[in-house]
Amino acid sequence: MLVKDLGEFRLIERFRKRILLDSSVIAGSGDDCAVLKFDKKRYQLFTCDMIVENVDFTLKDNPYLIGRKAVAISISDIASCCGLPWYCLISMGMPKNTPVKFVDRIFKGMLDISREYNINIAGGDLSRSGRIVIDVSMLGLVEKKNLTLRSSARTGDCIFVTGELGGSILGKHLRFTPRIKEARFLAKNFKVNAMIDISDGLVQDLRHILKQSKVGAVIYEEFIPLSPKARNLSDALKSGEEFELLFTLPRKEAKRILNKKLVTFKFIGEIVDRKYGFKLINEAGKIKDINLKGNSLTGFTHF
């Protein structure tokens, strides 16, 4: 059997079954960040993300934006747990004939976004490789009362997203703004049950919440916020590297958001009992089973 036969998520699950954790780990693999004990009021958040040439960027892309993206992805993970980033380590692999000017621009992108979010670049590593690879490990902190994971969605919750979806490959994947400000606002003012950032597509990342929370969902076509660059609805449902927040909260809290007319946050559906599965309802009222084998609504996977 080959990795491509197993697939990304089955491979992750294969690894997870072999991992043993001690009591200092509150939440491990299976969420946007690992959650570690820190002090009486806060948890430490720990995440890492890798971007690879010809997978996540090309050499035709602006090197400054490549560097910015490498760090921004991990900031987005911290945001999805409602925390604040603090430290990072950066490792880079590159061919030995890579122009120094190109690498300088990558690093400038890393420096600027780290300064913007008050992140300390505390070290890293360099290695020769066949193509450019950048891996960022990041630490953050979150108040215990504000920690939001994928596993706490409840039946009756409303589902929201930030921003607009679709067409990220046309530039947003390099220029997105991590939603730290929005996540902290939500944590301070509302009771959010579950949250994830959209890195693999709306449908696929909502599936992660449903699996971890053991619930089902209904989303409504008419409420999916389409980006002007989205080709169609399918693009908005599948497009990866949006890095918007996808979250659920009780109906009472949802009404408060809607009454305040907070346009950043857009209602798209509801959490239902697990037995109802995962459904999309179009504007004509027709129901599509998203989990049905053979449907085309799958997001990005590496294998």
The tens digit of pLDDT for each residue in 32-81 reads 999 999 999 999 999 999 999 999 999 999 999 999 999 999 999 999 99
Q: Does 135 belong to an annotated binding site?
A: no
Q: Does 56 belong to an annotated binding site?
A: yes
Task: Give the Å distances, CA to CA, from 148 to 11, 79, 206, 211, 274.
Answer: 25, 9, 15, 16, 21
Assess contact for 27 and 147: CB atoms under 8 A.
no
Nearest to 51 by CA among 129, 166, 118, 165: 129
- With H, G, I as helix, E, B as strand and everything else as coil, classify residue 160: strand
In a domain, 295, yes or no: no
pLDDT of residue 293 exceeding 80, the answer is no
The first and second tokens of residue 284, run together, are 């004509």
Q: Does 289 belong to an annotated binding site?
A: no
pLDDT of residue 6 exceeding 90, the answer is no
Q: Could you say which of 109, 129, 145 is where a domain stops?
A: 145
Mean pLDDT of 123-139: 98
86/158 same-domain check: no
In this prediction, residue 16 carries a pLDDT of: 83
Rounded Cα gap, residues 139 and 105, in angstroms: 24
pLDDT of residue 296 exceeding 60, the answer is no
| CATH code where residue 118 lies | 3.30.1330.10
Q: Could you say which of 110, 145, 180 is where a domain stops?
A: 145
**Domain encompassing residue 50:** 3-145
197/212 same-domain check: yes
In a domain, 294, yes or no: no
| pTM (predicted TM-score) | 0.94
In this prediction, residue 95 carries a pLDDT of: 98
* Contacts within 8 Å (CB) and 24+ apart, 286-293: 290/203, 291/207
101/212 same-domain check: no
Q: Does 150 belong to an annotated binding site?
A: yes
Q: Does 124 belong to an annotated binding site?
A: yes
227/283 same-domain check: yes
Assess contact for 201 and 238: CB atoms under 8 A.
yes
Q: Could you say which of 129, 145, 161 is where a domain stops?
A: 145
Mean pLDDT of the residues in the chain? 94
Q: Does 241 belong to an annotated binding site?
A: yes
The domain tally of the chain equals 2
